[in-house]
Each structure stands twice: as C-alpha cells, then as structure tokens.
Structure 1
Amino acid sequence: MRVLITGYINDIHVVRWCNALAQRGLDIHLATVHRSDGMNALDETVTAHQLSELGGIGYLTAVPALKRLASRLNPDLIHAHYAGGYGTMTRLSGVRPFLLSVYGDDVFETPKISWLHRKIIAGNIRKADHIASTSHIMKQVTQRLCSQAHITVTPFGVDTELFRPHYDQVTEDTHDAPLFNRDSTITIGTVKKLTDKYGIDTLIQAFALLVNNLPGRAFKLEITGNGPLKTKLQQQARKLGVAEQVTFYPAVPHEKVPDQLRRLDVFVAVSRRDGESFGVSIVEAMATGVPVVVSNVGGLPEVTGYGRHASIIPPDDPERIFQAIHEYLKHPRKVLLQAQAAREHVIRTYSWSTCVDTVVHLYQEIKEKRL
C-alpha cells in the first residue's frame, strides 16, 4: 500500500508514524513545506518531498506541487496530519481518499480565533473522507465542529520496551528510591516545549513552595525542552530563590527521552489549555514507572484513567501541585504501586504496536471503500 502523508517533518509524532508504518512494509511518502532540523530522523525507507518554503502562505503555494506529486505517485490514500495548514493544503489538492488526523490546538483552540478560522477548520473536517483523533474527548470536540464526520480514535502509542522503569515491580528492592528515603534528593521534572500552553511557570511556583515549606527535604527540578520562554522561566526561578535547584536541559531526540524520565521521582504536566488532547509525554512517564501529576485539561485525565493512575489537579494552581507532590512523599509505597499500575495501563491501552495496528487497519478500510 502506498500512502502520501502531509505534515510537519520536525514533529516527532509525524516522524514516528511515518517510520512505524514504513517498518510495517507500507510505501510511505511524506510531503512537507518545512525543512528537517535533524532532531528526529525519518527511516531510510520513507521518502520525503520538499514542496515549498514560504511560511504560512507556503501551504497554499504548495498545492499545485502536491497535486503533481500525487498524480505521479498515485497513492492509495493521502493522510494529512493537523487540521490547519496541512489539512487545508491537502483539502485544496483534491486528492482522495483523504484521511485527516486532528491533533489538539487545531480543533480546541484555532476555531476560537475567529469565525473564518472556525469555517476553515470545520470545512477541512467536512471534506475529509475520514478523521483520526488521538483521544475520545477530542473526537467529541471534532464532532461539534462537524457532526457528520466519521471519526476513529487512533492514540499516540508508546514503545513500552524503550520506555520502561529501572525495576519490574514494587518490592523491598525499591525502598532505596528517593521517595522512601528522607535523606535523598527528590527530583521533580517535566519534558515539554517551553511555551505558555504547558504551564511551566506554574510548575516553578509549585517547586518554590516545596523548597520553602518542606525544609527538611532536598529537592531539584529538571525541565527538558526548548522554547521561547526559557529566559523568562530562568528569571522566574532566580526571583523565587530556587535557581540553584532548577536545571534546564535542551530538547533531546525521542530515543533519549526515557533516560531523562528515569532521572525523575515525580513527573509533572500542568498544561493550562485544552489543546493538549492526549499528552504523549505523560503516557511515556507512566510507561517508565514515574508517578505523575497532571492538570485537568484536554485529554490528560483520559490517558491517566481519570485519576486512577495519576494525581489530577486544576490548571494554574501551584498550591495544588505542591499538595499533590507532598501527598506522594507521605505515601511513597502507595505511590509506587500506583505507578506500577499506570505502566500496566499503558501496556494494555497505549502499546505502540497496537496503535500502529489500528492505523494500518484504518488505511485498509479506507482503501477498500474506494475500491
């Protein structure tokens, strides 16, 4: 089967889908209007096609090139990742059958900008032959934009062999973990882009509360990611008097993320907007056996089993983050058992192999309908 994917070549999710599908024997071609930054490489069996480089307008000027490419490749289907720019470009190309993956901000936030944005996004959804959504809550939001849309939930999966804890189960051997030992340093952390959406400023405020209110314990905060707010966040840490305990690491290739997660005793993801429809880093942390604290937005409660496998707190509430972590410190064995159950939940629900199976099956269904 030959599939033409349109998407941002530097998006780790686009790269992972392309590589996994190619490794299943599909002939995958990626059409993009961006140049690769080299952070996460495409598999050598994936063919990338550079269409245009004119910023936002590039999506429109690339339409003729996409048409020509599709005419030459004659794909069994075209799959656009993101309902905004790439969804619009793919819709205007007229190539069918057309599968559209919605990601989060494109359906949660973009339609709120103006009536025109809503009209474009809703139109792209309506014109697609089928929609793929990473979560059930985003499926509901997408259906509100276009009630007749045919939608399949296709979660972002996790390689649970790559993302695995240091230990296989909670036993007496885990009692040397920092959560059990009052003399050990507790490492709090997150792996996120340093943008306003992800609430890193709230995490730093909560960390300062930990340091100031629990003087008998030692803490450090590790923040992994790139973004425009790095300098501002560093200034915030200095102003709160915790700069020496806060370390900023640059973004790392996906295969290096497990090493960053295994350094943590608690993973915190406190996004402040519903646009985080799935929370891949949260599922990766759970797979790695790290206790998790998340905000009650978007698809984050869904992936954590609605509180069964994580502590869920309101967004923009550093006091509640502090309280959640403090509770973890008071009940370490319970927390590590919860973390173990969280990993089992990920294996059952978000195994990467199973998620790829879902997309391959969806491709086959779409192809057969055309035939």
Structure 2
Amino acid sequence: MKVLLLANGASIHAARWVNGLAEAGLEIVLVTQDRDVLPLDGSVVVHQLPFSGSLGYFRNGSALRRIWCQEAPSLVHAHYASGYGTTARLGGCGPLLLSVWGSDVYRFPNRSPLHRWWLQGNLAAADRVASTSRAMAEQVRRLTPGIGQVEVTPFGIDLELFAPAAGPPTIADDAPIVIGTVKTLRPVYGIDLLVESFVRLRMVLAQEAPSVADRLRLRIVGDGPERESLSTLAAERGIARVTDFVPKVPHSKVAAELSKLDVYVALSRHESFGVAVLEASASGLPVIVSDAGGLPEVVRHAKTGFVVPRECPPAAADALKRLVLDAELRRTLGSAGRTHVCRHYGWRESVRRMIGIYQDMESRPLGNTLARKP
C-alpha cells in the first residue's frame, strides 16, 4: 500500500508516523512545506511543496495534485486540519484521512466566524477524520455535526526509549525530591501554575515537615515565549534557588530528563491528548495533570497519578504533598502508570491501528473520492 502523508516534516510526531509506517512495510510518500525535514527511513520519498507559511497552505493545492497524480497513492493522510487540511482540500486529493492535532480544532475556529467556516469545510471534505483523544473527537463533532465516525488514534509511546530508570524512586532521607515537567513554555501549558503549586507546597511543608521542604526541587525543561517571565516569577516567589530551567532538548534526550524527576506535572489550560504525560508514565513516574481536554483519558486517577481541576494550584499542591511525603505511593503509581501505557499506548499498537484504518478506507468505496480520480 502506498500512502501519501501531507505533514510537517520538521515535527517529531509527524516524523515518527512516517518512519513507523515505513518500517511496517508501507510505501510512504511525504509531502511537506518544510525544508529542514527530520531524519527519515531510507525508503521514504519526500516531495517539498513550492510555497511556505500560512499562505502556502492555499497556494500549494495544484502542486499537491500534481504530486498525487504522479505518485498515485492508495490514499492521502493529511495532518493538521487547518493547515495541510486546506492544501488537501484545495488539491482535491483522496481518499482523504484528516488527522486533527489540537490547536487546529480548539483555537483556529475561534479566531473568527470565517476561520470556523473554513475549518468546517476542511473537516467535511475528508473521507474520514482521526483524533488522538476522545475529547478532541467530541470537539470535531461539535464543529461539524453529522460528520459521522471520528477515529480515535492515540499517539503511541516508544516503550524501549521511555522506561523506568534503574533503581527505586528517591527514598533516602536527604536526597532531593525533584518535581518537574518537559514542555514548551507557553501560557496554554500552565507552567506558571506549576510554579505557584510548588510555592504553595513548600510553604505548607515548611510548617508541617521542614526537612522535606528543604529537599524539594523544581525542574522545568523547555524553551518558549514564557521563559523569561517564568524565571522572573520563580525569583519573585522565592524559589529561584531551588528551580532549574533547562533549555529544550531533542526528543531522543527527553527520557534522560525524565529520569531526573520524581514526579511529573502537567497543569495545562488546554490539551488535546497528553503524549508527554504518557512518556512520563512509561518512564515509571507518578503524574499530576489538570482535567483539561484529553489529559484525564491518559491518567487513571489515584491509580497512575492524580487529576486535579485546571487553574487550581491549591489542588495541585495537595496532590504533590501526598506524593512527596510517600515514596511508596510514588513507586506504586509510577509502576501502575508504566503498566497502563504498555497495555494501551504502545507505539507498535498505534501503528497497527493506523494501518487498519488505511486498509478499511482502501477497501470501501468512498463517495467523496469519485471526482478526484487523476
């Protein structure tokens, strides 16, 4: 089967899909605007579209159609509904599977009625739509009533790369207890809420368990527009001395960063799925997440971690307190998290599921594709 993937070639998540599908034996053609494409399997054919940027999504339709006619794939899989979904729609290529990623269905349609109308057209033009979470699938249905089935295709985790570190969680009475996150530093991801939760935790433990409070450390890994303001916030709140800001690391180094943590925290204001949380769970870490979007789907409350109300540092601090004071609870939840990811979110299973959708689309006559034949 030959599949034309229309996606951001510089995205690690898109590159993982490309490589995973190619390694599974599919003939993959990647079509992208990006000039700096991440390393790909040697069998992958790459076509670069002539135009870049937001307008490129509109201007590249005819170029995509030429590539489609040349390659004659079994189907087209476009990633990101507002961007490459536009190119696929204007190119008239198919059968078309359209994967939504998050901001394309949560933020883009709220910019204006015109943005919403255009996105609805992109979704309706697809023969099938895929979402990484049930919550985001519901958002698609709200945007486009009557769209029919939306496939849920969780983004799987590399269980060999993300695995528990050697040795038990921090138990020694004088060892630091490191709370942290690995995320882009943007307001949507609530890193400021993590800082405030950490401050509150230290204040409470300074009264109740001062020796434990002295062991607390905060580690924030990532870059982004909030880097300076978060550093200032940490200084203003009196935790600069116990807070480490670490620059963004390549995906291949994320597992090493997770191994330095005792608790992983994601207090996002909005979140489509929660790949980073699953990577932390696969690494044997207990996790604390907000109830935003798809995050509650990837955490079993009080089993693999804790789900707290979004925008609520007191609740997050309470959950942190439970984990900080109980090393055995950290170990139990972390171990259960690893088991949960292995059972439900392994990368190989995700690839198999995606191929199953491809095969089903290939075997069914799809009305939207009748006018697209080259």
Range of TM-score over shorter length:
over 0.9
The runs of 5 or more residues in structure 1 that have no matched partner are 168-172
CA deviation after TM superposition for structure 1 residue 341, in Å? 1.1
Cα 1:307–1:299, aligned 2, differ >3 Å: closer, same or farther?
farther
Contact kept? 2:80, 2:98, Cα under 8 Å = yes
Distance in 2 between the 1:306 and 1:76 partners? 42
Distance in 2 between the 1:241 and 1:28 partners? 52
Q: Which residue, out of 332, 338, 341, partners 1:343? A: 338
Q: Which residue, out of 271, 280, 288, partners 2:283? A: 288
Aligned to 1:159: 158
Partner deviation per Cα, 1:22-69 (whole Å, 9 max, x = no partner): 111111111112232x6x522232222221344211111111111111
Contact kept? 1:301, 1:307, Cα under 8 Å = no
Q: Tell me the TM-score normalized by structure 1.
A: 0.92
1:56-135 matched pairs, under 5 angstroms: 56-135=54-133
Distance in 1 between the 2:297 and 2:268 partners? 14
SS of 1:251's equivalent in the other structure is coil
CA deviation after TM superposition for structure 1 residue 121, in Å? 1.4
SS of 1:83's equivalent in the other structure is helix
Cα 1:197–1:18, aligned 2, differ >3 Å: closer, same or farther?
same
Aligned to 2:372: none
1:1-371 matched pairs, under 5 angstroms: 1-36=1-36, 40-146=38-144, 147-167=146-166, 174=168, 177-178=169-170, 180-214=171-205, 215-217=210-212, 218-273=215-270, 276-370=271-365
Instruction: Tell me the amino acid that sits aligned with residue 211 of structure 1.
Output: R
SS of 1:209's equivalent in the other structure is helix
Cα 1:307–1:116, aligned 2, differ >3 Å: closer, same or farther?
farther
CA deviation after TM superposition for structure 1 residue 307, in Å? 4.9
Distance in 1 between the 2:252 and 2:148 partners? 35
Distance in 2 between the 1:370 and 1:181 partners? 63
Distance in 1 between the 2:301 and 2:100 partners? 22
Contact kept? 2:197, 2:313, Cα under 8 Å = yes
Contact kept? 1:190, 1:269, Cα under 8 Å = yes
Instruction: Tell me the amino acid that sits aligned with residue 347 of structure 1.
Output: C
Distance in 2 between the 1:122 and 1:306 partners? 34
Contact kept? 1:126, 1:149, Cα under 8 Å = no
Q: Tell me the TM-score normalized by structure 2.
A: 0.91
Cα 1:35–1:249, aligned 2, differ >3 Å: closer, same or farther?
farther
Contact kept? 2:221, 2:246, Cα under 8 Å = yes
Cα 1:53–1:229, aligned 2, differ >3 Å: closer, same or farther?
farther
Distance in 2 between the 1:8 and 1:54 partners? 11
The runs of 5 or more residues in structure 2 that have no matched partner are 367-374
CA deviation after TM superposition for structure 1 residue 299, in Å? 0.4
Instruction: Tell me the amino acid that sits aligned with residue 281 of structure 2.
Output: M
Distance in 1 between the 2:65 and 2:302 partners? 46
Q: Which moved further from structure 2: 144-153 or 338-347? A: 144-153
Aligned to 1:170: none
Contact kept? 1:131, 1:149, Cα under 8 Å = no
CA deviation after TM superposition for structure 1 residue 201, in Å? 1.0
